Amino acid sequence: MKIKKILTLSVASALVVSLVGCSGTNKDDKTITVGASSTPHAEILEAIKPNLEKEGYKLDIKIFDDYVLPNTALSEGSLDANYFQHAPYLDETIKEKGYKLTYTSKIHLEPMGFYSSNIKDIKDIKNKGKIAIPNDPTNGSRALKLLADNGIIKIKNQELLGIKDITENSKNLDIVEMNAEQLPTVLKDVDGAVINTNYALSANLNPTNDALIMESKDSPYSNILACREDNKDSEKVKALTKALTSKEAKEFIKTKYKGSIITSF
């Protein structure tokens, strides 16, 4: 039976403190502790448990429901690795927090999509309509680029973007920023929202069928296996990387997600 450990902010913070206080992740050299979003990351990790068991390792998956705490927990030592983010997000976190984190491999791409409960075609967005996007810098930039690539707005030619960097908004759209995990819950209240695939799947939205527009397959935002600089070459992290880039992992992603998630290895 699969047991999911949903961590609220307070519980997660307590976990970080308690685990670090108990010698961190070195307590059992044959247990690999990984932080992950529930969908699809934890599902993929569950699928590769048999590979790790063959190598003598037990996989302990800690579920996080936000984008901040998994890197904090990894930096402070209560996780051996985490699997929930793309490289630009990790880079921005490192720049902001000073964490000594890195990554071993790109695992999969979750093309970001535009979803709506109120329109059937992106061209039907009305004047002064409202669009919701993620409020973190990298995913917000990603959302604005998706809108610009589809002719909804025009933006500055730069990597990180905010609403202030929109150069043309011919329909006078009200573009609002929200926590990424909240976006599926506001679809009835907006004309549309640009949603990360993991949160879309958790809300029973099928990216292939339900998204009106999606990122192209050559997007640079592949999800990665992150670790600390000081444990990147550890046997545990090497074993986890090998399992996540195995033929079994590739087949699981292909069969389970039917093109809404694409392997990057």
Which CATH number covers residue 96? Answer: 3.40.190.10
- What are the pLDDT digits (tens) for 52-66? 999 999 999 999 999
Rounded CA-CA distance 101/89 in Å is: 12
Q: Which pLDDT score, from 0 to 100, does residue 95 have?
A: 96
Q: Are residues 96 and 163 in the same domain?
A: no
Take residue 157 and report the two structure tokens written for it: 């030619």
| Burial of residue 128, with CB atoms counted within 10 A of its CB: 0-12 exposed, 13-18 middle, 19 or more buried | exposed
Give the tens place of pLDDT for each residue, 29-59. Answer: 899 999 999 999 999 999 999 999 999 999 9
In a domain, 1, yes or no: no
Range(s) of the domain holding residue 187: 113-214
- How far is Cα 12 from Cα 6, in angstroms, rounded to an integer? 9
Rounded distance between C-alpha atoms, residue 4 and residue 45, angstroms: 12
Is 17 a residue whose pLDDT tops 90? no
Please answer whether residues 177 and 135 qualify as being in contact, where contact means their C-beta atoms are separated by less than 8 angstroms: yes
Q: Between the CA of residue 224 and those of 52, 168, 250, what are the distances in Å?
A: 18, 34, 14
- Say yes or no to pLDDT of 15 above 70: no
Placement of tokens 């519980």 in the chain: 11
Question: Residue 28 — very low, low, confident or very high, per pLDDT cuts 50/70/90?
Answer: low
pLDDT at 94 over 90: yes
Residue 73 CB contacts under 8 Å (≥ 6 apart), including other chains: 12, 15, 16, 35, 62, 64, 79, 82
Give CA–CA dist 250/264, Å, rounded.
Answer: 9
Residue 115 has what pLDDT? 98
Q: Encode pLDDT of 162-219 as tens digits.
A: 999 999 999 999 999 999 999 999 999 999 999 999 899 999 998 889 999 999 877 8
Give the chain's domain count. 2
Same domain, yes or no: 29 and 157:
no
Residues near 21 by beta carbon (within 8 Å), at least 6 away in sequence: none
pLDDT at 112: 95
Q: Are 189 and 53 in contact (CB under 8 A)?
A: no
Structure confidence at residue 259 as a pLDDT band (50, 70, 90): confident
Percent of the chain with pLDDT over 90: 83
Mean pLDDT of the region 220-245: 97
CA distances from 136 to 19, 67, 179, 196, 257 (A): 28, 9, 7, 12, 26
Taking 80 as the threshold, does the pLDDT of residue 10 lie above it?
no
Single pTM value for the model: 0.76
Q: Which residues contact 251 (CB under 8 A, 6 or more apart)?
A: none
Domain boundary among 214, 231, 253: 214
The rounded mean pLDDT for the chain is 90
> Are 93 and 54 contained in the same domain?
yes
Pair (251, 230) in one structural domain = yes
Q: Report the percent of the chain where pLDDT is more than 70.
A: 89
Tens of pLDDT, residues 126-156: 999 999 999 999 999 999 999 999 999 999 9
Residue 26 has pLDDT above 60, yes or no: no
Between 231 and 216, residue with greater pLDDT: 231
| Domain membership flag for residue 171 | yes
Residues 91 and 126 in one domain: no
**Within this chain, do residues 179 and 51 fall inside the same structural domain, yes or no?**
no
pLDDT score for 218: 79
